[in-house]
Chains A and B, each alone.
Chain A
Amino acid sequence: MCGICGCGQTNNTGKLKPVLGQHQHVLKQDHDHSHHGHAYDHHSHDHNESERLIKVEQDLLSKNNVYAAQNRAYFQQHHIFTLNLVSSPGAGKTTLLVETIKALKDRFPIAVIEGDQQTERDADRIRATGIPALQINTGRACHLDAHGIGHAVMELGVKGHSLLAIENVGNLVCPSSFDLGEAHKVVVLSVTEGDDKPIKYPDMFHAADLMLINKTDLLPYVNFDVGRCIHYARQVNPDIQIIQLSATKGDNFSVWTDWLVKRVKPELND
């Protein structure tokens, strides 16, 4: 049963394949188009009919956006606070999640969806903390899409009144345009990457509501001007919230966990 998108396709391989088209739950790995699109191949009738113009006026991402809206409605209905974590590879998303889970798993249910092009490694790191995690291997696709997330949520059986963290594929380009239905995109930038990332990848910093500046324990050793980074981020997105922390050393970590608790359990807010 397909709870969110209603496409009726089940997945019994235990491992979710990414979903690009409406009823293609298997990725076209080899990009060999000779195996699909038969419906339009080699029509034998002739095309004497006259051409006509069709107005479409449709967003390129409209299909993804429909799935994203369904996910968002589901999350709201079940009080699932969903974050879409994005960064370059190695910024510390998985480490951050592992530490977050350790700090908060007794407060409310947490589930994780891991996006990665090839391996199952990050989901294993999450499962080692004792919470449910599902890996979506996107193969050659460099982002998660909303339809795949809907299926992952069903397969994981994400509980209500919970935190759902989605670790997107390490990439600061594509995930900015694919809405997954999350409450917020959170961009993780580590201080080893350079303080001008926000203006090098403005779309992502524009789309994010929160920027985590991670690995602050390394600040003494790198040439990273936190003030300049924040200035650039605000230039691209005047409303962006910013937390500086170290996932491994724990500096400032409670600012982040407090930020989460406030949103997962709004009833605790004064």
Chain B
Amino acid sequence: MTNLPGENLHLPEGCMAGIAMHELSLLENVREILEDHALKQNFCRVTKVTLEIGKLSCVEPEALRFGFDVVMKDSLAENAELIISELAGLGVCRQCQQQMAMETLYDPCAYCGSLLVTVSQGAEMKIKDLTVI
């Protein structure tokens, strides 16, 4: 059960219905990484966090935005601004070697129709940089 902002929204057990749970646990990882960097690089407040999220990764930018303030509350990044830069999906066809844009992990090759397309960009979920004090 997780409490989301505003009303106490109780997500059902298992998160099939509450996919935002996934983003919340990823955001907890973000918070831990910030805490590590704070110790190593000597800062105590983060005012801006820039994430790079690939279009083919399994996270929803909207859900990240939604969960960010909750997860960062009472941490060094409380009230920090969240910037999400989205990275387009790219794939390379194993049959015809062409490169193409991909909207989903299951796009067939736009040139030859083959299903053997390997994702070359867009699966990323990264913390790019931080603005700190």
Partner-B contacts on A (CB < 8 A)? 20-22, 30-31, 33-34, 36-37, 39-41, 43, 47, 49-64, 88-89, 117-118, 140-143, 169-174, 176-177, 198-199, 202-203, 206, 232, 234-236, 238
Contact = CB atoms under 8 A, between A and B. Distances in A.
A22 B32 CA distance: 8
A60 B49 CA distance: 12
Contact of B108 (A117, A118, A235): A235
Interface of B: 1-3, 13-16, 19, 21-22, 25-26, 28-30, 32-33, 35-38, 41, 43-45, 47, 51, 57-58, 70, 73-76, 78, 94, 104-106, 108, 115-117, 124-133
Contacts of B35: 39-40
A60 B129 contact: no
A234 B76 CA distance: 44
B20 to A, nearest CB: 10
A142 B15 contact: yes
A142 B127 contact: no
Contacts of B57: 177
23 contacts: A20-B28, A20-B32, A21-B28, A31-B70, A33-B74, A40-B45, A40-B75, A50-B133, A52-B132, A54-B41, A54-B43, A54-B131, A55-B128, A57-B128, A60-B26, A60-B127, A89-B14, A142-B21, A142-B22, A171-B15, A177-B26, A203-B58, A238-B94
Contact of A61 (B13, B14, B29): B29
A172 B58 CA distance: 11
Nearest to A204: B58
A93 to B, nearest CB: 13
Given A31-B2, A37-B76, A49-B133, 18 more contacts: A30-B3, A40-B38, A40-B45, A51-B132, A52-B43, A54-B41, A54-B132, A56-B126, A56-B129, A56-B130, A60-B126, A61-B125, A63-B33, A140-B21, A170-B14, A173-B16, A203-B58, A238-B115
